[in-house]
Amino acid sequence: MKLAFVVQRYGLEINGGAELHCRWIVEHLRKFCTVEVLTTQAYDYITWKNYYPEGEEMVNGVSVRRFPVIRSRDPERFGRIQNHILDNEHKFDEELKWMEEEGPLAPALIDYIKDHEDDYDYFIFFSYRYYHSYWGINALPHKSILVPTAERDSIIHLSLFKDLFRKPRAFIYNSIEEKNMINSLSQNQDILGDVVGVGTEIPGDVSADNFRQMYDITGDYVIYIGRIDLNKGCDQLFQFFQRYKKEETTDVKLVLIGSSKLNIPAHHDIIHLGFLSEEDKFSGLDGALMLMMPSFYESLSMVTLEAWAMGKPVLANSTCEVLKGQCIRSNAGLYYENYFEFHEAFRLLLQSAQLRDAMGKNGLTFFKQHYTWDVIESKYLSILDRLEKVQ
């Protein structure tokens, strides 16, 4: 069986979101099938400017075909168009125009998919909201599998997606909440779909002591891992953490790992370490009391799964249905909607080591049941097998 994975960006330098999710799935499925990646030359997810060379190259033993982006995205223009279609009544053509602006505008990629239909058994598209998924699935719906990686944002309500969600042969969802949302939006329950997600691997040499020594961190700390961004709820986390520190006597520190797009408050207990290697990231997680997950929108928080894989509890923002659902299903994390809930939940977790241990164990069990690579691989293969049988 030959599979083509179609994704907006692909490369070892891209270390988050749907792109990393796609790369990990590709690298694990190559044991079972012939896999190839069809993507663009883009690296920057804001402008989609061509960065990688055009043509075919090997990335970690996987063949990757890159197609040029013919027009970079102008964020200002895109913002204007998006605001217009979100705030006003509009025509379908305007939604198509939005899709063109959303990009990455790589028509050669779509032409390649159309011309090489017979070379592949299935095309697995990642991220529903981009140009490649919309036109790729419309070109070959009978050979398409969609991994939507959808969050509950306004864009999903556009009418073009309602139609799109009824077209692929199968869906691979990240969470039950994502599946329910897409089912209710497009009434596509009749299309084959399974909740799968993505696995993770813990590096061999993880050491909390080394991490503390290397970054000069003493005492108890909680950790946030990911892009430090307004959209990720970091601003609210900083406010809540500082207010908590004012109201309660505690030495706990907040350690931040990830690149920042936000002004981090100058507080002696908020420590920003920047972007770290996988080993250091897991070492940091190993020494932390818990993971803070303040994001409002997530289709699947990979770092939450990593925390559970390390046996650490999570304090999540319950505005994000997926995070709340995962906490409830795993019984491995508390959640908050406002400061008062944050205060109580944070205090409970900080003060009770027994609660943290019990939740950490639950997280590890949940992770082993649903998110080890064996489980993920077998779920993908099962979907492909069911599609073959239906054919």
Q: Which residue has the tokens 């990455």?
A: 104
Least Å distance, CB 83 to other proteins, is 20
Rounded Cα distance, 284 and 9, in Å: 28
Q: Which residues contact 93 (CB under 8 A, 6 or more apart)?
A: none
Helices (H), the chain: 17-29, 75-87, 92-102, 107-115, 131-139, 159-164, 176-186, 208-215, 234-247, 278-287, 302-309, 321-330, 339-351, 353-370, 373-390
Q: Kindly identify the residues of this chain, within the stretch 40-59, that bind other proteins according to CB under 8 A.
A: none
Least Å distance, CB 222 to other proteins, is 17
Least Å distance, CB 171 to other proteins, is 28
Q: Of the candidates 340, 389, 390, 391, which one interacts with other proteins according to CB under 8 A?
A: 340
Cβ atoms 258, 324 nearer than 8 A: no
Is residue 333 a contact residue for other proteins (CB under 8 A)?
yes
294 CB-contact burial (10 Å; exposed 0-12 / middle 13-18 / buried 19+): buried
CB of 351 or CB of 382, closer to other proteins: 351
Cβ atoms 101, 78 nearer than 8 A: yes
Q: Which two tokens stand for residue 174?
A: 């990240």
Distances from the Cα of 128 to the Cα of 136, 147, 172, 271, 275, angstroms: 10, 7, 11, 36, 28
CB of 35 or CB of 309, closer to other proteins: 309
Rounded Cα distance, 215 and 211, in Å: 6
CB of 289 or CB of 384, closer to other proteins: 289
Is residue 335 a contact residue for other proteins (CB under 8 A)?
yes
CB of 167 or CB of 347, closer to other proteins: 347
Site for other proteins (CB under 8 A): how many residues? 20
Is residue 351 a contact residue for other proteins (CB under 8 A)?
yes
Examine residue 104 and say whether the peptide bond preceding it is cis (omega within 30 degrees of 0). Answer: yes
CB of 135 or CB of 308, closer to other proteins: 308
Cβ atoms 197, 299 nearer than 8 A: no
Rounded Cα distance, 256 and 279, in Å: 15
Least Å distance, CB 297 to other proteins, is 21
Least Å distance, CB 329 to other proteins, is 9
Q: Of the candidates 44, 60, 348, 368, which one interacts with other proteins according to CB under 8 A?
A: 348
* Three-state secondary structure call for residue 149: coil
Q: Of the candidates 18, 145, 156, 334, which one interacts with other proteins according to CB under 8 A?
A: 334
- Which listed range, 112-120, 142-150, 188-196, 339-347, lies at the site for other proteins (CB under 8 A)? 339-347
CB of 172 or CB of 332, closer to other proteins: 332
The one-character DSSP state at 38 is E
Is residue 332 a contact residue for other proteins (CB under 8 A)?
yes
Window 289-328: contact mask with other proteins (x via CB under 8 A): --------------------------------------xx
Q: Of the candidates 358, 375, 381, 387, which one interacts with other proteins according to CB under 8 A?
A: 358
Q: Of the candidates 106, 362, 364, 383, which one interacts with other proteins according to CB under 8 A?
A: 362
Interface residues toward other proteins, by CB under 8 A: 327-328, 330-335, 340-341, 344-345, 348, 351-352, 354-355, 358-359, 362
